[in-house]
Structure 1
């Protein structure tokens, strides 16, 4: 791994951090929006799910674009969409326009996640790949941590300052996200080359050697000759090939069920703590979302080392099990703010470690020629669970009552239990090994 390769990995971590802040911006702003517009939890759930619905569409549509037009161009386009959507969300005046702006932001985030995960896998070598994926996933809670500090103006009670919520209200959370998003566009353009794997899949020897030179590698003399009579890779390949189809479906629906559990804490923890007796003001309640992501950050970072040594399957299964227990226990309630913070740290650690396991499985499960397409499809299906999580939790609170926190939490924790069963059914093979050269479109090099 050259220095330039590590720079690209770090930038992918930062882009994922940006996604983490953008996705959770509505959660930081939720109490303020609810108070300003006079809406209850069920109506608030519509706002909270908007970007998650958009992420589903963006993952499928723009994941394929990353395999067709390139990872770099797709990421830049996604950043532009995200910046506009975030800025407009800060100026929304009601649920319909807020839903539209957050949906548009979600489309950009979905495409970004598909492309950045593929880039991280393709610029890292086989020795460091699982670790890099773990670090990459840790970027998501890192962005939420930084956003939580900035929104609340409280660094775990140790440092206090005027945060975005206090200085600008909920509007400032979205506007700050838009500014940072726009600032990263020129950085990405200058420092991240198109991946060699993508250029090789297009038969671009000159482009491959240009990327290799940027990474300090020796040039190639040639690429396998392509047979133009064979079809180009497309999203249907991951479903039509009998070897890839079960992997695609198990990953997609396993990830979907886990996100039902995962986003319950991320989307509703702030509102639950704000409402739970004795009740806390929004800036104070927002600290529990920060601590949840601190747990998630360390969970992803440490789990990257675990996967590098012990593999992906069984460690991830254990994280899914412990995470489900933690989310169920969250429903017991806490008497102090410190108690709530520790509860979210624990649930964040294990649920986010499981997310790292899934992302590593995405990179492993699909061959290089369809990695972004496969990842995008799986993330798109998975976002059904993410989008449905706040809607399901909101409906359960309305049906059972806000005082039934334990019952609702146990029901929401069952998503990770189902995910655990599906994850254990995955075959332990790399996508390239499972498919083999004879099953690939002619001229498509193995990773």
Structure 2
């Protein structure tokens, strides 16, 4: 009797596996919109409340702090309770958080609501990464994980286009969060209907009813059900945080965490500050949202490009090269452009490379940890990395307030991605089996 994990890894993917991966990709797209919703709303918030750039930088970063905690805590929890329950819990948290943000009347209240929303976003990212890696076969795993990561900018493109239209039609920044809350809650029935618990988790943890759940999934995929559970793994793999720093994994975890921290600092400076920078250059908020949409179009194309290239080229060299090019593009963005077309073009190029690096990096994370540690490992790396993500917009806001111009601020923040490229080039890991 063959272990279903080996069957999944070896055979072509059934359409139900593809659907589960598609839903996970759509959930990451939802993450993309929920994270950047505050960026679309920021110019209106600054105008209504009369707050300075330092305060805006803090508001822009609050859900990133929440994402760090959510990715770490809820990601580890997903390795204990399951991927599917965690997806559903995160959707509830995100939906409530987005709705509450639309009712905020002050910076502290809005910051608290965004922090709460970030908990769900962070947990969602860790769980979806595990779902995609465990639903894919071995041949297409890097491709599917990178495509899933590409859902993030797609969500920003579609959601951002809607947000720009809503801002133009209503003139109220609250409408952005109301739209996000409604869409988020609509995903709950989709997950219940289309995303089963992964067989890798069920075979590893063996909860009550595991065999029935595995057989239900196998039958739906056109495969033979199991007469009984395969033998348990001879050595039960630990799922604690300490296991991520065990011999053979400690250096990998430390270095991947550093890579995520420094790259996210650069990436989120760029995507969080684009609308406010464009408005400060004299353009309307709707036009500023359009520049951010173009930035995410570049990010989506970058994700697709790295996904396709990963089938022919090693994923890590692709990520390192993308980081180096992305750092240069962010520095170029800081030189300033006098037209919307110029701003849109360089923002598009910068996000092409920086988001391609993120898409590829998630594939590196997924192949670096076994199933017992995959969501937890992703959660730790991304969780600590979100501290860098939160730091980027805050540092930029403080530097702007101190009188720094766009060029030196962009050059300083771009160094984060350059450092990440150097560290990733030194990581030595052995690709983990999907078991």
TM (norm. structure 1) is 0.91
Aligned to 2:25: 13
TM-superposed CA distance for 1:431, in Å, is 2.6
Query: Could you say if the C-alpha distance between residues 314 and 407 of structure 1 is closer, same or farther in structure 2, counting changes exceeding 3 Å?
Result: same
Deviation by residue 1:410-437 (Cα, 9 ceiling, x = unmatched): 00000001100110111242134xxxxx
Aligned to 2:72: 60
| Alpha-carbon distance in structure 2 between the residues aligned to 1:428 and 1:137 | 21
| Alpha-carbon distance in structure 2 between the residues aligned to 1:320 and 1:417 | 6
Specify which of 233, 257, 264 is matched with residue 262 of structure 2.
257
Aligned to 2:361: 358
Aligned to 2:148: 136
Aligned: 1:87 with 2:93: no
Aligned to 1:422: 423
SS in 1 for 2:151: helix
Deviation by residue 1:18-60 (Cα, 9 ceiling, x = unmatched): 0000000000000000000000110111110010000000001
| Alpha-carbon distance in structure 2 between the residues aligned to 1:211 and 1:67 | 19
Aligned to 2:242: 236
Aligned to 1:400: 403
Aligned to 2:229: 222
Mapping 1:35-50, distance limit 5 Å: 35-50=47-62
Q: Which runs of 5+ in 1 are unaligned?
A: 154-162, 433-445
Query: Could you say if the C-alpha distance between residues 199 and 388 of structure 1 is closer, same or farther in structure 2, counting changes exceeding 3 Å?
Result: same
SS in 2 for 1:431: coil
Partners of 1:319 and 1:350 within 8 A in 2:
yes
Aligned to 2:16: 4
Partners of 1:292 and 1:344 within 8 A in 2:
yes
SS in 2 for 1:217: coil
Aligned: 1:298 with 2:310: no
Mapping 1:96-115, distance limit 5 Å: 96-115=108-127
TM (norm. structure 2) is 0.94
Mapping 1:339-354, distance limit 5 Å: 339-354=342-357
Mapping 1:180-329, distance limit 5 Å: 180-203=183-206, 204-220=210-226, 221-225=228-232, 232-239=238-245, 241-276=246-281, 279-329=282-332
Partners of 1:71 and 1:195 within 8 A in 2:
yes
Partners of 1:165 and 1:173 within 8 A in 2:
no
| Alpha-carbon distance in structure 1 between the residues aligned to 2:55 and 2:233 | 54
Partners of 1:166 and 1:283 within 8 A in 2:
no
Aligned to 2:10: none
Aligned to 1:437: none
TM-superposed CA distance for 1:242, in Å, is 1.1
The alignment yields a C-alpha RMSD, in angstroms, of 1.4
Aligned to 1:443: none
For structure 1, which segment, 255-264 or 214-223, has the greater mean C-alpha deviation from structure 2 after superposition? 214-223
TM-superposed CA distance for 1:173, in Å, is 0.2
| Alpha-carbon distance in structure 1 between the residues aligned to 2:211 and 2:249 | 28
SS in 1 for 2:310: helix
Specify which of 149, 172, 177 is matched with residue 161 of structure 2.
149
| Alpha-carbon distance in structure 1 between the residues aligned to 2:237 and 2:350 | 45
Partners of 2:167 and 2:286 within 8 A in 1:
no
For structure 1, which segment, 103-112 or 165-174, has the greater mean C-alpha deviation from structure 2 after superposition? 165-174
Deviation by residue 1:133-184 (Cα, 9 ceiling, x = unmatched): 111011000000012111112xxxxxxxxx3453251000000000000111
Equivalent pairs, count: 419
Aligned to 2:180: 177
| Alpha-carbon distance in structure 2 between the residues aligned to 1:248 and 1:212 | 34
| Alpha-carbon distance in structure 1 between the residues aligned to 2:365 and 2:195 | 22
Q: Which runs of 5+ in 2 are unaligned?
A: 1-12
